[in-house]
Chains A and B, each alone.
Chain A
Amino acid sequence: MSQTTPTPAATGDATARSGPSRAGGFGEAKRSVGDWLLGVLCRSSAGVMIAMLVSLLGVLTWSAWPAISAYGLGFLVGTEWRVNELQRPVRDDAGKIIFRDGEMVTETVPQMFGALPVMYGTAMSSLLALMIAVPLSFGAALFLVRVAPKLRIAGPVSFLVEFLAAIPSLAYGLWGLFVLAPFLQEYVGPTAERWLGGVPWLRWMFYEQVIVAGRLIERPIAMTGRDLLCGSLILAIMVLPIITSVSRDVLKGVPRSQIEGTLALGATWWQSCLGMLRYGRSGLFGAVMLGLARAAGETMAVAMVIGNNNQISASPFAPAATMASLLANEFQDPGEGLHRPSLLYVALVLLVMSLLFNVVARWFVVGKGGGVSAAH
């Protein structure tokens, strides 16, 4: 077995901030067949990854094309998602249905697809999930970095947090459907209604408006437990591990001198923790963005508990749908016309959105200078 002397590039320079050093740094001095093979393998693996992403985008765009060309960007603001054609009675100016020779006069309304309700559902459920998960994750990360090592329990607690990430999403969904949703239906919803239902400016939370044949009907929202709130809670639990573990690594990277400096200046324990959070803010922001990307793309668990109604409702107690849950529900056996292309258009939007989240997250965690970066 021949020992090759490690090149400077292979040892890795801890202080180097310029990323990977030279292009093709696979040992320039002695090129053995093994080195050459490894180089080819690595490059082609990386190439395959990029090719996969590009082909994914290409295939999605290609198969969604009928919907893209039919609706354009209006798809992103359309509020109606209707697979079937309607035979709508024609009404005169007074709103009366027109009859001709005893037969009702009807017009055919073609099928219509718009993604705004599911985009809204994705945004709202992800935001609510982050509002719940981010404080918990940062708290847990601070605990793991500052408290747990002294108590010698950092290892087991880290393991448990990361174990949460290994639970399949179907298990979360079943737990949400059979434990969380009934609990919300039985206790949380009614309690909120009893305490807040009488507050005039919180009426939007407990009433929904339905437009039937041009008439607006306001009716109380039935507390079912399978709603935006339940979906967000499940998402919060699912994004906890990733935000916690990334922000733990970020906080671990805060230089000791920084912490000791704040303490030396007379900062309390709380103030020094705040200092740590401020020092690692870009990395922490990246952790949140990674959580957001996971929340936006989560499918099965959300589809089981969110209520699956393509509507835009401000209330957390109203059923909603996300882009991913829509795909889970409808993609298996799509209907005629533009239904399938429209579902693929939704998938394309979701993919582009997740890509953007990840790019932003990467920019903050790794790319940008200053602050603390985490090996990820």
Chain B
Amino acid sequence: MMTRWIRCASLAASMLLAAVAVASSKDVRLSGAGATFPAPLYTLWVSEFQKLHPTIKIDYRSIGSGGGVKAITDRTVAFGASDAPLNAREIEALGGPDAIVHIPTVAGGVVPAYNLPGVTAELKFTGEIIADIYLGKISSWDDPRLREINPGVTLPRLAITPVFRTDGSGTTFVFTSYLATQSPIFAGEIGAGKQVNWPLGQGGKGNEGVAAAIQQTRGALGYVEQNYAAANKIAYGAVRNSKGNFIRATPATMSAAGEGHSDALKGTVFQANIWNAAGPDAYPISAFTYLIFFRNLDNLVDAADAEAFVKFVRWAVSDGQKFAADLEYAPLSPEVRAQVESVLDRVTHKGQPLSTAK
């Protein structure tokens, strides 16, 4: 009786082991976690990449930029994703700038979204005006400064309700970083960061919380990611850039903000703040979103995993870029793409260069 049980159990165990062995020899499983902003695009990339390489299975969880940085620092994922570039402290926790690869995948923009019934024309804003609205200095839609840059638009006498995000997010980081460059008072009172202390207005959690507050409140002004506003048909305005042109956020104008940056790459870390960019067509509240992984991919079990992963990233920043504009993300410019690909050649596994290197 007993021996039969043992025999059965050992048979089952050996079958299980065999199954695992077969699966591992065939499939590569990789996981990543982080920013919510690029999540729709990353999900699309994964499914498109899988059509080309059915044996490589990638799983991306959008848990927020902070969570992504924590996950890669704890080495529980193959890659982390963050909307805000890592700061010196975070890079140090990962082992220093030489130990990691920090590259942009696409650019995106944050837009001033509003709810003004009866106003069909697209409104224009400047960074300074948006900053003063959030500071409480401008409290009504018919403020002379708003009327001045919106000639021909009948602005109602309606209180402005500023709407902000309560959770830590790359969106808030980009938006506040830009406003801090436009208003020293904003920089000193509210400041830049993933989460800041707003003196007034309504808070919502996530893009959806902010969008709900905007859509339900007459006279609300908030900030959401451009592709979220476009997908949910929320009205948003154009913002004056550093050349004095009022630019509406589109994949083309956000890409224009990401052009140049030949000096942004230091070793294997590419960081560029592209808000308030210099180009005449550049949308001013734009930013890259980043992938972070180890230069020596020892957190992956074998070289095949590391090669599959690099293959995916290389595909994402080259062929994958054509999917970006469909989802209203801005593709990388050719010179940025060239820099990113040169970094990928330097990735190793257990100190050995990968066969995917060119």
Residues of A in contact with B (beta carbons under 8 Å apart): 80-89, 97, 104, 106, 109, 177, 181-182, 185, 208, 210-213, 217, 219-220, 222, 224-226, 303, 307-311, 319, 321, 328-330, 332-336, 339
Nearest Cβ in chain B — how far from A215, in angstroms?
9
A-facing residues in B45-72 (Cβ within 8 Å): 63-67
Nearest Cβ in chain A — how far from B77, in angstroms?
15
Chain A residues with Cβ under 8 A from B98's Cβ? none
Nearest Cβ in chain B — how far from A338, in angstroms?
13
Cα separation A309 to B201 with both chains bound (whole Å):
7
**Which residue of chain B is the closest to A83 with respect to CB atoms?**
B195
Cα separation A176 to B205 with both chains bound (whole Å):
16
A212 and B189 within 8 A (CB): yes
**Which residue of chain A is the closest to B204 with respect to CB atoms?**
A308
Chain B residues with Cβ under 8 A from A97's Cβ? 184
Nearest 6 pairs of A and B residues by beta carbon: A84-B193, A308-B203, A333-B64, A88-B188, A210-B136, A82-B197
Nearest Cβ in chain A — how far from B172, in angstroms?
9
Other than A309-B203, A332-B64, give 10 A-B pairs with Cβ distance below 8 A: A181-B216, A212-B135, A217-B139, A226-B217, A307-B203, A308-B204, A311-B199, A330-B167, A332-B63, A335-B194
B197 and A212 within 8 A (CB): no
Chain A residues with Cβ under 8 A from B199's Cβ? 210-212, 311
Instruction: Enumerate 5 A-B pairs (CB-CB under 8 Å) in ascending A order.
Output: A84-B191, A219-B136, A226-B202, A333-B169, A335-B194
Nearest Cβ in chain A — how far from B130, in angstroms?
14
Cα separation A208 to B201 with both chains bound (whole Å):
11
Chain A residues with Cβ under 8 A from B197's Cβ? 80-84, 310
A86 and B191 within 8 A (CB): yes
**Which residue of chain A is the closest to B188 with respect to CB atoms?**
A88
A185 and B217 within 8 A (CB): yes
B167-197 CB mask vs A (1 if < 8 Å, else 0) is 1110000001000100011011111111111
Chain B residues with Cβ under 8 A from A310's Cβ? 197
Interface size class of B (residues with CB under 8 A): 35 or more
Nearest Cβ in chain A — how far from B288, in angstroms?
20
B212 and A224 within 8 A (CB): no
**Which residue of chain B is the closest to A303 with respect to CB atoms?**
B205
With an 8 A cutoff between CB atoms, is B159 at the interface? yes
B213 and A85 within 8 A (CB): no
Chain B residues with Cβ under 8 A from A330's Cβ? 166-168, 195
Cα separation A213 to B186 with both chains bound (whole Å):
9
**Which residue of chain A is the closest to B213 with respect to CB atoms?**
A226
**Which residue of chain A is the closest to B217 with respect to CB atoms?**
A224
**Which residue of chain A is the closest to B159 with respect to CB atoms?**
A222
Contact of B188 among A83, A87, A319 (CB under 8 A): A87
Cα separation A7 to B167 with both chains bound (whole Å):
59
Cα separation A224 to B212 with both chains bound (whole Å):
12
Most chain B beta carbons < 10 A, residue from A85, A319, A321 = A319
Cα separation A80 to B199 with both chains bound (whole Å):
10
Q: A84-B196, A222-B161, A225-B216 are in contact. Are A319 and B136 (CB under 8 A)?
A: no
Q: A220-B159, A309-B198, A333-B67 are in contact. Are A85 and B166 (CB under 8 A)?
A: no
Chain B residues with Cβ under 8 A from A210's Cβ? 135-136, 199-200
**Which residue of chain B is the closest to A337 with respect to CB atoms?**
B89
Cα separation A106 to B186 with both chains bound (whole Å):
13
Chain B residues with Cβ under 8 A from A319's Cβ? 201-203
Cα separation A86 to B191 with both chains bound (whole Å):
5
Chain A residues with Cβ under 8 A from B266's Cβ? none
Chain A residues with Cβ under 8 A from B213's Cβ? 224, 226
Chain A residues with Cβ under 8 A from B191's Cβ? 82, 84-87, 109
Contact of B168 among A109, A225, A333 (CB under 8 A): A333
B76-93 CB mask vs A (1 if < 8 Å, else 0) is 000000000000010000
Nearest Cβ in chain A — how far from B104, in angstroms?
21
Most chain B beta carbons < 10 A, residue from A83, A182, A225 = A83
Chain B residues with Cβ under 8 A from A220's Cβ? 139, 159
B184 and A224 within 8 A (CB): no
Chain A residues with Cβ under 8 A from B200's Cβ? 208, 210, 309, 311
Chain A residues with Cβ under 8 A from B166's Cβ? 308, 329-330
**Which residue of chain A is the closest to B161 with respect to CB atoms?**
A222
